[in-house]
Structures are given as C-alpha cells and as structure tokens.
C-alpha cells in the first residue's frame, strides 16, 4: 500500500485519489491468495473427477470475476448435466471425499438442489481464510460472473469502484442478504449501472446492447454479450469524482419507488410497473422454504430478467442503505473540498 501511495504521489494525483487507491490496494485480494485459491480448486476438481470423470467443478463469483476482497470465499459449482435422480448420491459421495481429504463442512441435503459448504481445513494447509460454497449446475451464475469480469477489464476504474463499494458495504454492515440488505453482486450491478447508464460521457458501453453480440440461450435466458473488445473511453473523471457521483446518484437522484436498476436495458430505464414488480410475492424455494420476493429495491439480473437481485432488501434495509449513501456523499464531498483547499494553500 505504501508503494502504491508513493507511486500515485509521484504521478501527482490528488490526496483523495491517493487515499482511495491505497485503500483499494489494501483490501483487494492479492495474486498470492488467488494462486492459493486456484490450487484449492484444482484439488476439488481432482476429487470431483474421481467420483465421475464426466463431472467438473468451476469457480464463479468474485474469485472468478476479479472483484474479490482479501480472504474471500470461493463460490464454486459442480457441472454434471442430465444427472437427474442420481444427484443426491453423487453429491454425498463428493462430500465424503472432501471430508476424507481433511475439509470440514456441511452438506445441505434438504434442498432440492444439494449444497455443500466447506467451512474449514482441519489440516491447516492454507495461509488465507478458507471457505467454499459448492452448488450444482448453476450455469447462469457462471455466465453472469463472466459478464462482470468482461466489464472489469474495460476500464481500471470499474474494478476499483466495485471493490471499494463492496468493501464499504461490508464495513457499514449493509451487505447482509439474510438480514434485509443487499448482496455484493447487487452492489456491483449498481456500480455497473452508474458507469453504463448514468455518468456522461459513459465509462462503460452496454455489452448486452450491441450489433456485435451473439445471442446464446441458457435455461431459457439470453446470456449473449460482446466479448473480447476494449472500447475507447471518453470519460476522464477521477476515481473520487466517479465514487462521489455514484453515491450522490443513489442517495438523492434514483427513484427507488418506481424504477428498476437494469444494466442490460438500452438506456437503463425500466419501471417496476412494466415488470409487474410491485407487490411482494411468495414462492417456494429449492429447500421447500417460503421465499418472499420483495420489490423495495429492484435490481434486474442482467440475464435472468425475472430475478430481482434486490429481493432480499426490506424497507428498513433500504432506509439504512440510503442513509449510508447520503453519509458517504457528504464525507467524500467534504474530503475533496478540504484537500483541494489544502493543496491551494500549499501552492500559494
Ligand atoms: N449470484 C446470482 N444471483 C444473486 C446473487 C449472487 O447469480 N442474487 C451469483 C453471481 O454469479 C455472483 C455470485 O453469485 O457473482 C456471488 O455472489 P456474491 O457472493 O454476492 O458476490 P461476490 O462478488 O462473490 O461477493 P463476496 O466477495 O462478498 O463473496
Ligand atoms: Mg462470493
């Protein structure tokens, strides 16, 4: 971090940018930790192959999108198409072999689709925190992870903002989907929405709205997006300007009552009424639990467009989240003002 701060100072960056970049460097996952996670995935792959040669296990989520913080969990998914009835047997066999290797965890068999949670490594082989959630055949999550990854490659400020906002949400305790606030994935979609559809000139193009996109249908949803192009960026705002703009927009401008945050929609404009996302609905989840779909904060998944990523957010949760957006706006604006006047004084 000290090196990054020094490098930034050399490039004559303003103090707020230096502060944000050094925080970014402190909180994001290191290459060393990513290598360790990679080795863990290879070990798990080995186990899964040994149960069924045609099965595979892949990582998704932040480890894969490049938007991970330090000591991040591994989100993984076992792929074994057309398994049907034998799923239960296959999953419990995998779990037994993971346990035999020295991992401790839980196998949640109540769910219609099993989930394996590996919570610790009894052999203490790993330097960084170890936790791994393993699901089955969750193809859409793999595609949405690669969309996030593609966006993060277009402009370095995208990755910096997403990681800073995720870290901030965890610090402020407004990143608890089980307790009425929003998942990390939800915050990242809000950042992308700001960079694609709000700030002008835009920082990011809409990768799902382009003649160069190839349509591809997975589980009934179009997961096509433009891959592998870097687009010239006209926006030259600094990191603090973008961050302040993001917080300011979601603190004071976004119409939470009527609008839906949608990154794929051309123009980004979507209304709750148009999607029939107005009254909370209940449905049965894969573990036969009752899930309440709320629409207090409406964030459309980029591919699974019937899914509200913000469905976990309660009225009280949104109140808290907006309060933090307002507080962050005030702090950032004050810091920017303060530092420019400090620099002016220094130069005078
Ligand atoms: N995901 C999803 N739909 C949701 C929540 C999550 O499809 N409503 C998938 C996405 O592929 C996402 C992944 O699950 O990338 C992990 O979600 P989450 O843990 O919220 O994001 P991470 O970036 O992994 O955050 P953290 O570093 O906090 O684990
Ligand atoms: Mg994760």
For ligand 1, atom 16, the nearest C-alpha belongs to: 61
Q: Residue 165 C-alpha to ligand 1 middle, in angstroms?
A: 14
Query: The complex's ipTM?
Result: 0.98
Nearest ligand 1 atom, CA 144: 11
| Mean pLDDT value across residues 87-104 | 94
Task: For residue 134, say if its preceding peptide bond is cis, omega within 30 degrees of 0.
Answer: no
Q: Residue 286 C-alpha to ligand 1 middle, in angstroms?
A: 18
- Asked if residue 232 lies in contact with residue 201, where contact means CB atoms within 8 angstroms, the answer is no
Q: Is the pLDDT of residue 282 over 90?
A: no
**Highest mean pLDDT: which of 87-96, 221-230, 252-261, 333-342?**
252-261
Mean of pLDDT over the chain: 92
CATH class, domain 155-347, is mainly alpha
| Separation of alpha carbons 301 and 145, rounded Å | 12
Ligand 1 mutation pick, 142, 183, 294, 307, max ligand atoms within 8 A of CB: 183
Q: Residue 24 C-alpha to ligand 1 middle, in angstroms?
A: 20
pLDDT band of 344, cuts 50, 70, 90: low
pLDDT band of 228, cuts 50, 70, 90: confident
- Higher pLDDT, residue 313 or 231: 313
- Alpha helices, DSSP H only, in 172-314? 184-193, 239-248, 272-275
| Separation of alpha carbons 160 and 163, rounded Å | 5
Q: Residue 336 C-alpha to ligand 2 middle, in angstroms?
A: 32
Q: Residue 343 C-alpha to ligand 1 middle, in angstroms?
A: 40
What tokens were used for 170? 């965890």
Alpha-carbon dihedral of residues 109, 56, 184, 125, nearest 10 degrees?
90
pLDDT tens digits, one per residue of 66-82: 999 999 999 999 999 88
What is the share, in percent, of the chain residues with pLDDT greater than 70?
Answer: 93
- Alpha helices, DSSP H only, in the chain? 2-10, 15-27, 31-51, 62-65, 87-100, 139-154, 156-171, 184-193, 239-248, 272-275, 315-347
Interhelix angle 2-10/15-27, rounded to 10 degrees, is 150
Contact residues of ligand 1, CB 6 A cut-off: 60-62, 65, 67-69, 72-73, 75, 141, 144-145, 183-185, 309
Ligand 1 mutation pick, 141, 170, 175, 187, max ligand atoms within 8 A of CB: 141
| Mean pLDDT value across residues 293-316 | 96
Strand partners, 116: 107, 134
Strand partners, 62: none
Q: Residue 288 C-alpha to ligand 1 middle, in angstroms?
A: 22
- Asked if residue 260 lies in contact with residue 277, where contact means CB atoms within 8 angstroms, the answer is yes
For ligand 1, atom 25, the nearest C-alpha belongs to: 184
Per CATH, the homologous superfamily of domain 31-137 is Beta Polymerase, domain 2 (3.30.460.10)
| Separation of alpha carbons 48 and 162, rounded Å | 32
Nearest ligand 1 atom, CA 61: 15
Nearest ligand 1 atom, CA 73: 29
Q: Is the pLDDT of residue 50 over 80?
A: yes
pLDDT tens digits, one per residue of 170-204: 999 999 999 999 999 999 999 999 999 999 999 99
- Which pLDDT score, from 0 to 100, does residue 170 have? 98
pLDDT band of 166, cuts 50, 70, 90: very high
Q: Residue 140 C-alpha to ligand 2 middle, in angstroms?
A: 15
| Mean pLDDT value across residues 251-267 | 97
Q: Is the pLDDT of residue 336 over 90?
A: no
| Mean pLDDT value across residues 37-64 | 96
- Asked if residue 328 lies in contact with residue 205, where contact means CB atoms within 8 angstroms, the answer is no
- Asked if residue 205 lies in contact with residue 213, where contact means CB atoms within 8 angstroms, the answer is no
Q: Residue ranges per domain, the chain?
A: 31-137, 155-347
What is the share, in percent, of the chain residues with pLDDT greater than 90?
Answer: 78
Nearest ligand 1 atom, CA 312: 8
Q: Is the pLDDT of residue 259 over 80?
A: yes
pLDDT band of 136, cuts 50, 70, 90: very high
| Separation of alpha carbons 70 and 72, rounded Å | 5
93-102 per-residue burial string, b: 16 or more CB within 10 A, e: under 16: bbbebbeebe
Q: Is the pLDDT of residue 315 over 60?
A: yes
């Amino acid at each position: 971090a000290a090196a990054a701060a020094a490098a930034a100072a050399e490039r004559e960056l303003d103090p707020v940018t230096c502060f944000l970049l050094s925080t970014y460097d402190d909180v994001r996952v290191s290459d060393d930790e990513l290598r360790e996670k990679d080795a863990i995935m290879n070990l798990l792959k080995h186990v899964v192959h040994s149960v069924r040669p045609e099965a595979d296990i892949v990582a998704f989520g932040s480890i894969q999108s490049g938007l991970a913080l330090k000591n991040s969990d591994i989100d993984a998914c076992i792929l074994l198409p057309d398994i049907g009835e034998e799923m239960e047997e296959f999953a419990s066999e995998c779990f037994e072999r993971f346990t035999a290797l020295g991992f401790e965890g839980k196998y949640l068999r109540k769910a219609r689709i099993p989930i394996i949670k590996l919570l610790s490594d009894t052999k203490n082989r790993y330097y960084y925190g170890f936790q791994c959630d393993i699901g089955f055949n969750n193809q859409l999550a793999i595609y949405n992870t690669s969309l996030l990854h593609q966006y993060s490659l277009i402009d370095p400020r995208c990755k910096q903002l997403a990681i800073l906002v995720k870290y901030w949400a965890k610090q402020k305790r407004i990143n608890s989907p089980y307790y009425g606030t929003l998942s990390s994935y939800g915050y990242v979609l809000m950042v992308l929405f700001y960079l694609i559809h709000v700030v002008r000139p835009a920082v990011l193009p809409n990768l799902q709205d382009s003649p160069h996109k190839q349509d591809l249908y997975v589980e009934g949803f179009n997961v096509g997006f433009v891959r592998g192009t870097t687009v010239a960026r006209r926006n030259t705002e600094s990191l603090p300007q973008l961050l302040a703009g993001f917080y300011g927009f979601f603190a004071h401008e976004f119409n939470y009552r009527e609008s839906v945050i949608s990154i794929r929609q051309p123009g980004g404009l979507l209304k709750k009424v148009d999607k029939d996302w107005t009254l909370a609905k209940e449905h049965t989840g894969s573990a036969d639990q009752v899930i309440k779909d709320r629409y207090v904060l409406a964030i459309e998944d980029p591919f699974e467009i019937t899914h509200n990523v913000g469905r976990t957010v309660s009225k009280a949760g949104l109140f808290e989240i907006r309060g933090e957006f307002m507080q962050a706006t005030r702090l950032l604006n004050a810091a920017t003002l303060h530092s420019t006047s400090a620099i002016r004084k220094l130069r005078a």
